[in-house]
Amino acid sequence: MSFMKKVLKNIVNFTIILVVILPLFTTNIFAYEEQEVDKLLEEYKFGEAYKILKENLYDEDKNIDPIKVRKILELEFIVTDTSSMILHALELVEYGQNSKDYYNQMIGYYYLGSVYYELYDDTKAIENFEKMLSIAQSKNYPLGKGMYYMFTGLIYSSYEDYDLALENFTKAQPYFEEAHLDENWIFPNFKENNKFMIDLIEIILSKSQDKASRFVELGDAFKDKNWELKYSSMSRCGYELNKIGAFKEAAYMLEESKKTIALADFGDMYNKFSGYMDYDLAYSYYSMGDFKRASELLIDEDYTTNNTKLEVERGELINQKLREIESKEIKRQSETKTKIISAISALLVFLLITVMIIVRQYKVADRLSQEVYERSIRDNMTGLFNRTEIINLYQKNIDKDISLSVIDIDDFKNINDTYGHSVGDIVIKDISSIIQDIVGDKGYVGRYGGEEFLVILKKSDQYDSKKLLEEVRITIENKKWFFKDSPVTVSIGLLNEAKNTSFNNGFKAADELLYLAKRNGKNIICHI
């Protein structure tokens, strides 16, 4: 899997929809006979508009109007009609090629990239986004360049690679300033949204102690803006506030953001957009100890009278909290014991106090050095080896009998889309623990990026690599989750014989096997 393929995997979809797609709907951009559609779009009644436009898209000779096609593509992105979206995007590309309308051809490639990303065909997604950029560069379309770099920035930010994210958002901004938009494409919020992301990431990267107040100030700046700006900015600030533990402030931001959803009629898609907020809000309230409010947000109306279901989900929240408390207590007891031993030792060896001070200082320095080293090789979220270290471990063991496997969470983007990124983080953490517990000292486990893990197993007569990974797969499939009844699954690509194989070649082979598993129905292991 290429780097761009991995970063595309976990893109923050609701941010992209709001930043890149929804701003297109704020103006009547068509001069055609369906005045009812125009009126519905002006009123943000996207579901109704889509149904009418779909029935009146072509003229009697089946000819296309590129303006209408662009409009139906925008609506299809919202209602996730992916098959129709591919057809219409290809029509727009073909129209642009035949008529040498390179602008519409560029937009067609953009939507092809978007829909293939939605379908998890990352190779085709990247291919089409790069075609979009190529046209934008050759024909000097600043808007296309800005969209490419903004999209790339969103991808990197979803992987918390904020340095690269900031670099791409910064590249995008001058292009949005330069863009002269035609009458049919009005992007009123591009500059504002891109500047917002720059400001947001600068706060994330800062080492100041007032991050919470700065996030609130940034979100409040959009409180009186149009609903798209308010929703996208305040929801993102709420998500970041959750991450730093400012749960009260996060709840305020998310509640304000959620209010804006009622201003637009998404039809059947209302629950999709509202759901983004519900699960992040549930995380805020749960973290503040308000389990009742959290449970109300997590459980839909059909389950509100099911006390058993309520107690199970509430129990899951409480158990997680207890585990956190237990972990902190163990750490506190350990620190207390160390201090007591140090004090007794100092009293017993009073005559050697100077020496003991030197020794203690050395130990502290050594411990701090070890802690710094551990942080440098560990993934912050999961505690697994990070990308750099898992590759180093592979290189160190390359001359030994080892296997290499790539594990990827199936349909993870749908989990983020449906339940929110806070729930997605919980899924990643829990699955990481399952993999680590089963692998144990039989090998090494690392988080390669997003929802993707690498496992290096040392060959042994006492176990079989495929059987061990099958245990991982089955354990994950059988795990019960507090947020859904259906299972979360993983697909696995396994290269059994990786001895004396370079990392690039070994990873490429395991990754190809992983995608073979994806194409064959997911939740399986493909190996050679």
Task: Name the residue with tokens 């931001």.
Answer: 253
Q: Which of 255, 271, 298 is the last residue before a domain boundary?
A: 298
**Weakly modelled stretches of the chain, pLDDT under 70:** 1-35, 41, 44, 77-81, 117-122, 182-188, 261-276, 298-372, 461-462
**What pLDDT score was predicted for residue 450?**
86
Query: Do 294 and 311 have their domain in common?
Result: no
- Inter-CA distances, 213 with 203, 229, 251, Å: 10, 20, 14
Query: Do 89 and 226 have their domain in common?
Result: no
Tokens found for residue 437: 């517990």
Query: Do 215 and 151 have their domain in common?
Result: no
Task: Name the residue with tokens 């001070």.
Answer: 357
Q: Are 99 and 134 in contact (CB under 8 A)?
A: no
Instruction: Give the phi and the psi of residue 403 in degrees, each rounded to 5.
Output: -120, 155
Task: Name the residue with tokens 């399986």.
Answer: 524
For 238, residues 6+ apart whose C-beta sits below 8 A from its C-beta are 219, 250, 251, 252, 253, 254, 257, 280, 284
Q: Which of 326, 342, 377 is the last residue before a domain boundary?
A: 377
Q: Go through the chain and tell me how many residues it has.
A: 528
Task: Give the residue numbers spanning the domain of 173.
Answer: 1-187
**What pLDDT score was predicted for residue 127?**
83
Query: Do 443 and 515 have their domain in common?
Result: yes
Query: Do 455 and 372 have their domain in common?
Result: no
- Alpha helices by DSSP H, listed for 80-161, are 82-99, 102-118, 122-138, 142-158
Enter the DSSP assignment of 487: P
**For residue 415, what is the domain's CATH number?**
3.30.70.270
Q: Which of 481, 486, 411, 419 is nearest to 271 (CA)?
A: 419
**What pLDDT score was predicted for residue 139?**
94
**What pLDDT score was predicted for residue 30?**
39
Q: Is 345 a member of any domain?
A: yes
Q: Is 131 a member of any domain?
A: yes
Q: Please state the domain count of the chain.
A: 4
Query: Do 277 and 404 have their domain in common?
Result: no
**What pLDDT score was predicted for residue 65?**
84
Q: Are 514 and 406 in contact (CB under 8 A)?
A: yes
Query: Do 290 and 410 have their domain in common?
Result: no
Query: Do 359 and 414 have their domain in common?
Result: no
Enter the DSSP assignment of 265: B
- Alpha helices by DSSP H, listed for 189-306, are 190-205, 211-220, 227-243, 247-259, 270-287, 291-298
Query: Do 407 and 519 have their domain in common?
Result: yes
Give residue-wise pLDDT tens across range 133-147.
999 999 999 988 988
